[in-house]
Amino acid sequence: MKVSFLLASVLYIALGLVLLIWPGISRDLICLSFGLLLLIYGIITIISFFVHDSRLGTFRFELILGIVAAAAGLLFLIKPEFVKSVIPVVLGIYIIIDALLNLKRSLELHSLQYGRWWVILVLSLVSVALGVLILFRPGMTADVLIMVIGGVFVYNGLSDLWSIFKISRITKEYRKNNPIIIDPIDIE
């Protein structure tokens, strides 16, 4: 799961930089790229669900995200003309979903008693706001919209990387300070 989040974060940043630097990229290329990225991310997330213990609540949300991402990726690849007309809506919704997952991570850090859990909470809320901006401002010119989307992807990728780093670090510290003790009687 950590690898798929890291991969998604790096892809967000890379794609965001491309969109910021070259806003005039053709919509067909953007549609194809998003379709492939969403499909790959969705497949990785779905596979991660089946590889890991699916009884844990966190993995159920990841399965839903994986299915949505894979379905959106297929739509981008099969119906590019339709997708080009609804790209702001699709991207806005996807960014909001990802931001809500980050919000969930911030609450997990709070439950682990991490003092700066609120930073991830704030980053998540900003991501939600940026996703809503993309969702409800489809009238922006194409280049401006592409640059805004690129900036949001860079920000979202960086905030995801920071969240993953902090959660990993806190989890390691928590496990170190609170080892699991197994009673030999329980093993039998």
The whole-number pLDDT of residue 157 equals 86
The whole-number pLDDT of residue 184 equals 56
* Burial 146-180, CB ≥16 within 10 A → b, else e: bbbbbebbbbbbebbbebbebbeebeeeeeeeeee
Expressed in angstroms, the distance from the first to the final Cα of the chain is: 32
The whole-number pLDDT of residue 187 equals 57
Residue type, 73: G
Answer yes or no: pTM beyond 0.85. no
The whole-number pLDDT of residue 38 equals 93
pLDDT per residue rounded down to tens, the chain (188 residues): 677 778 888 888 888 888 888 776 666 787 888 899 999 999 998 888 888 765 555 567 788 889 999 999 998 899 887 777 776 777 788 888 988 888 888 888 888 888 888 888 898 898 888 888 877 776 565 667 778 778 888 988 888 888 888 888 888 887 788 777 665 555 55
The whole-number pLDDT of residue 30 equals 76
